[in-house]
Structure 1
C-alpha cells in the first residue's frame, strides 16, 4: 500500500505542474503511466511481498473512489442544462457505447471486454468510467490499461481541437460548452476546452459533463444486467446476480451532496481524498499491467477509439444542434 501511495502522490504532484495543467494530464493518467513504468521494471522483483496490497488498491480502493466521486455532482446540475442537455447526454452515452460494442466486436473483431471498456470511457467520463466498468465486465488489467490509453489520447486531442474549431461552429458560448461537455472524454479536458473560450462556456461544459458522470450509475446497473442475461437473451444460471454496490452508493452520495449539508472545506478535502484513492487504484492497475500484453492488443483498440472520437465530434455536433433547436 505504501508503494501504491507513493506512486499516486507522485502522479498528483506532477499533475500540478504548469505543463501538465496546460496539456490536461490528470493525476489519474500520470499515476497509471508511472505504475506501468515501474510494473515493467522494478515491480516484478518485489511483487511477491507487495502484491497483496497492490491488488487491494486495484479493487477496493477503486470502488471507494467511485463512491466518493458522487461528491462532484448534484441533482441541481441536471436542472442547469435543461431538457436539451439531458437528452443529449443520454443519447451520447447509449449511442457511443452501443456503437463501440458493435463496431469493436463485429467490424474490428476485437474481444468484447476491450470494446466495452473503450466504449464506456468514450461515452461517459474517460479513465474513471473505464475503471468503474472494470468490476462489472471483469476484464484483466492489461485490457483496462489499453482502454484508458486510447481514451486519454483522443480526449487530449479533442481538448485542443474544440477551442480552435469554436469560431466556425456557429454556436454561442453556452451551446459550445454543452457540446464540449457532452462529447469530450475527461472532466479535466472539458474544463480546459471550456476555459479556452470563456467562463460561460466553461460553466456550461462542466455542468453538462457532470450530468454525463451521473449517468455512470444507471449505465453500470444496466450493463451488469445485460451481461448476466448472456448473448442469446436467456438468463444465465452460471452467472451470479452482481449488483455494483459502488454504483448505487455513487448515486446516494450525489443525492446527499445535492442537499448541500456539508461545508465546502469538508467537500473539498473529501474530493482530495477521492483523487488520491483513484490515483492509487490507477497506480496499482499500472503495476499489474505488462507491456507485452498492451503490444499484443495491436492497433485495433486505437482505431476503435478514433472511430468513436469522430462519432462524438461530428455526430455529437449534429445532435447538439438538433436538440438545442427543438428542445431549448
Structure 2
C-alpha cells in the first residue's frame, strides 16, 4: 500500500509541476503583451487605440504568427476570464455616482436613449442580416454601452463562443478608433459648442479610451462632459445585464426562473460595490490611481488572452455581415445625435 502511494506521488507530482509551469507561461505571456501594449499606447497615434485595444490586436497577431505553447493555455484562459472580470470590478473606482447624479437628468436620459435605441437597432439589423443572435447581442452591447467591457460582461449571459467574443471586441475596437479620429478631424467644422461636442463624443463612441482621445480638441469643457456622459453609459451596464439575463433565461426555458438561477455575471455587482465605495468614502487620489492602473493592466492581460485565442479563420467564418451590422449600428447612432443634443438642451 505504501509503495503504491509513493508510485502515485512520483507520477502525479511532475504532472502538477508541469501544469503550474504551463499556467505561469500563459500568465506571463499575457502580462508581457499588456506591458508592451501600454508602452505603445504612449506613442502619439496609438494613444487613440488605447492599451486594451492594442492588447487584443497584439494577442491576435502573436497567436496567428508565432507559436503558443500548448501547456500555456490554462494561464491564458485565466487571464481572459478571471483577470478580465477582476479588472472590470476595479474599474468601478473610476465612477463617482454623485457626479453623475449632480450632472442632472439630461445625461441619464441621453444615455438611456442611446442604449435603448442602439441595442434595439443592432438586434433588428442582426435579424435582418441573419447573423448569429449571440454575436448580434455582443455587437449591440459593445456599441451601446462601453465597448469591450460590455461585451465581456454580456458574453457569459448569452453563452457566446470565445471566437464570437473576440470578433465582436475587434469590430468595436476598429470602429471606435475610426470614429475617434473622424471626430477630432471634424470638430472645427461642427456648428456646436465645446460642451455639446463632449456630449456627442461621450454618447456615441465605444471605448472610454476613444472618448478621452476625442474630447481633447474641445479642451476641459468637452473632455469633462464627454467623460461624464460615457461613465453614465458604463453605469447602465448593470441594469442592462440584468435585463438581458432575465430575457435570455426566459426565452430558453419558456418561463420565468428564480433570480438565483439566472445567468447573471455576478462580478458586475463587484463593479457596483467599488463604485459605491468610491462615492460614499473619501479615498485618497493616489490609492484610486493605483486601483485604476491595476484595473487597466488586468483588463489588458484579459484582452491579450482573448487575442491569443483569435484565429483569422474565425473572421472568415463569420463573414462580412457582422462587420456591416456593427458599421450600420454606429451610423444609426450618429443619425440620432441631433435628438441627443436637443435632449441635452431641454433638460
Tell me, in whole angstroms, the C-alpha distance in 1 between the residues paired with 2:261 and 2:272. Answer: 23
User: Number of paired residues?
Assistant: 320
Match for residue 33 of structure 1 among 25, 38, 57: 57
Tell me, in whole angstroms, the C-alpha distance in 2 between the residues paired with 1:6 and 1:324. Answer: 43
Tell me, in whole angstroms, the C-alpha distance in 2 between the residues paired with 1:85 and 1:74. Answer: 14
Q: Spell out, residue by residue over 1:277-301, the C-alpha distance to the aligned partner (whole angstroms, 9 max, x if none).
A: 1011111111112111122111111
Match for residue 101 of structure 2 among 47, 58, 79: 79
Tell me the CA shift for residue 3 of structure 1: 1.6
2:327 alignment counterpart = 306
2:75 alignment counterpart = 53
Listed as ranges, the gaps of 5+ residues in structure 1 are none
Find out whether 1:4 has 2:41 as its counterpart.
no
Q: Spell out, residue by residue over 1:165-190, the C-alpha distance to the aligned partner (whole angstroms, 9 max, x if none).
A: 44554322212211211111111111
Tell me, in whole angstroms, the C-alpha distance in 1 between the residues paired with 2:40 and 2:184. Answer: 25
Tell me, in whole angstroms, the C-alpha distance in 1 between the residues paired with 2:114 and 2:230. Answer: 11
Find out whether 1:321 has 2:341 as its counterpart.
yes
Tell me the CA shift for residue 318 of structure 1: 2.1
Tell me, in whole angstroms, the C-alpha distance in 2 between the residues paired with 1:242 and 1:308. Answer: 26
Match for residue 66 of structure 2 among 39, 42, 48: 42
- The 5-angstrom pairing of residues 190-209 of structure 1 reads 190-209=211-230
Tell me the CA shift for residue 273 of structure 1: 0.6
Q: Spell out, residue by residue over 1:246-285, the C-alpha distance to the aligned partner (whole angstroms, 9 max, x if none).
A: 1111111111111243211111011111011101111111
| RMSD, matched Cα | 1.9
Q: Secondary structure at the match of 2:297?
A: helix
Tell me, in whole angstroms, the C-alpha distance in 1 between the residues paired with 2:96 and 2:112. Answer: 17
Match for residue 166 of structure 2 among 135, 145, 157: 145
Tell me the CA shift for residue 218 of structure 1: 1.3
Change (3 A) 1:304 1:232: farther
Tell me the CA shift for residue 243 of structure 1: 2.5
Tell me, in whole angstroms, the C-alpha distance in 2 between the residues paired with 1:81 and 1:16. Answer: 31
1:234 alignment counterpart = 255
- The 5-angstrom pairing of residues 179-328 of structure 1 reads 179-230=200-251, 234-235=255-256, 240-315=261-336, 317-327=337-347
Tell me the CA shift for residue 138 of structure 1: 2.0
Tell me, in whole angstroms, the C-alpha distance in 1 between the residues paired with 2:120 and 2:96. Answer: 27
Match for residue 15 of structure 1 among 27, 38, 41: 41
Tell me, in whole angstroms, the C-alpha distance in 1 between the residues paired with 2:137 and 2:67. Answer: 29
Tell me, in whole angstroms, the C-alpha distance in 2 between the residues paired with 1:37 and 1:170. Answer: 41
Tell me the CA shift for residue 232 of structure 1: 8.6
Instruction: Check conservation: 1:15, 1:26, Cα contact below 8 A.
Output: yes
TM-score when normalising by structure 2: 0.87
Listed as ranges, the gaps of 5+ residues in structure 2 are 1-26
Tell me, in whole angstroms, the C-alpha distance in 2 between the residues paired with 1:62 and 1:43. Answer: 23
Tell me, in whole angstroms, the C-alpha distance in 1 between the residues paired with 2:45 and 2:263. Answer: 42
Instruction: Check conservation: 1:67, 1:246, Cα contact below 8 A.
Output: yes
Tell me, in whole angstroms, the C-alpha distance in 1 between the residues paired with 2:255 and 2:238. Answer: 24
Instruction: Check conservation: 2:147, 2:206, Cα contact below 8 A.
Output: yes
Q: Secondary structure at the match of 2:108?
A: helix
Instruction: Check conservation: 1:77, 1:211, Cα contact below 8 A.
Output: no
Q: Secondary structure at the match of 2:49?
A: coil
Tell me, in whole angstroms, the C-alpha distance in 2 between the residues paired with 1:274 and 1:245. Answer: 17
Instruction: Check conservation: 1:163, 1:197, Cα contact below 8 A.
Output: no
Tell me the CA shift for residue 139 of structure 1: 1.3
